[in-house]
Amino acid sequence: MQIGIVVYEDNNNLRESLCNLITFSKDLLLLGNYARVEEVITQIEELQPDVILMDIDMPGMNGIEAVKQIRTFNQQVQVIMLTVFDDNRHVLDAICAGASGYLLKKHISDHLLDAITQVLQGEAPMSPGIARMVIQSMQQNSKPVNNNYNLTQREKEILSNLSKGNSYKLIAADLSISIDTVRTHIKNIYEKLQVHTQTEAVSKAVNERLV
């Protein structure tokens, strides 16, 4: 079954390139592409995509506001932010709005298809530079908490890898374990930290200095 994708990007050339990448992939199905987001609620309710590719810097309403609107009625759809920005404010605003992943536009051609796969598997794909900035920003406001949640050494290693933006595949290779084993450990981490997503787990780990 193909993965339904909707694209929001005001740059016509980039939007066309994204659409071509999707169209030429046998696993993806392009449901719609738009240069503006004012009708995002109607469009997403009608098209019911699995993944949304969302530019941040849009004319009129921006991508961050669009994600906030989407999250008022749909918590399941995965939203990957695409942007030329690499500053903390935009990164954190997008994540707080409910973005599932975040990629710089210069990395799109090399990493987009992998990012779509990762986000559907529960991962939070981010460019390495973006992941570092998120962690640094969180660390500036973090406070130590006297609770390690009974995490095992292996779980701490995996949580540390997640905080660096590493994919499940990279974590498995780094620790010489299977991807299924990584998923099992991550499930246990979520239960111990009482979170439901990778972003929540990393945020809690950094804020409470667990990694």
132 and 88 Cβ atoms separated by less than 8 Å:
no
pTM above 0.85, yes or no: no
- Cα angle value 197/201/205 (rounded, 5°): 170
Which comes out higher in pLDDT, residue 134 or 33? 33
Instruction: Calculate mean pLDDT across residues 45-58.
Output: 95
Instruction: Return the pLDDT at 146.
Output: 58
Q: Say if 134 falls within a structural domain.
A: no
Is pLDDT above 90 for 5? yes
Query: Could you tell me the CATH number of the domain that includes residue 156?
Result: 1.10.10.10
Are 25 and 82 within one domain?
yes
Structure tokens at 71: 């999250």
Number of domains in the chain: 2
CA distance 28 to 112: 12
The residues, any chain, with a CB within 8 Å of residue 7's CB and separated by 6 or more, are 15, 18, 19, 22, 30, 32, 33, 34, 52, 53
C-alpha 186/C-alpha 178 separation (Å) is: 13
Could you tell me the residue range of the domain that residue 156 belongs to? 142-207
Give yes or no for residue 140 having a pLDDT over 70.
no
Amino acid identity, position 39: E
Query: Of all residues in the chain, what percent carry a pLDDT higher than 70?
Result: 89
**123 and 161 co-located in one domain:** no
Whether 120 and 168 share a structural domain: no
User: Residue 80 CA to chain centroid, in angstroms?
Assistant: 5
86-114 CB burial, b ≥16 within 10 A, e <16: eeeebbebbbebbbbbbbbbebbeebbee
Q: What are the structure tokens assigned to 187, written together?
A: 């499930």
What pLDDT band is residue 124 in, cutting at 50, 70 and 90?
confident
Residue 161, in any domain of the structure: yes
Residues 6+ apart with CB under 8 A from 99: 54, 67, 79, 80, 81
Determine the average pLDDT of the residues in 194-198.
84
d(CA 99, CA 86): 15
CATH code of 115's domain: 3.40.50.2300
